[in-house]
Structure 1
């Protein structure tokens, strides 16, 4: 049996909440902040990856 890869979600804000989905499959809601220099963050509970939709260049 193969294990499904963690889900990747494209988001347009740098601060997002993850609760792992609905019902018993979920986990406590956590707030995650996407680092501007990386452009993504992974949930420590469910390993879901959140990527910023338009990753800005490193011009700051």
Structure 2
């Protein structure tokens, strides 16, 4: 049995909302703040990783 890798999303805002993206099968909506020093944040429910576009460009 394999485990799917968490989803990664590139965003243009330092504040994001995550609800699991699965409708009724998702999780409660949470609002996450991306620290500018780190450039990313992970959802505590679904482990989705949100990367700010400036941090993504710097890593490329």
In structure 1, distance between residues paired with 2:53 and 2:9: 9
* Runs of at least 5 residues in structure 1 that lack an aligned partner in the other structure: none
SS at match of 2:47: coil
After superposing on structure 2, the runs of 4+ consecutive aligned residues of structure 1 that deviate more than 2 Å are 22-25
Map of 1:42 onto structure 2: 42
Partner residue in 1 for 2:4: 4
Residue 60 of structure 2 is aligned to residue 52 of structure 1: no
Secondary structure in structure 2 of the residue aligned to 1:54: helix
Cα RMSD (Å): 1.6
| Structure with greater Cα Rg | 1
Deviations 1:3-58 (A, max 9, x none): 0010000000000000001223200000000000000000000000000011288x
More helix by share: 2
Distance across 2 between alignment mates of 1:46 and 1:15: 17
Instruction: Provide the rounded CA distance (Å) in 2 between the counterparts of 1:54 and 1:42.
Output: 17
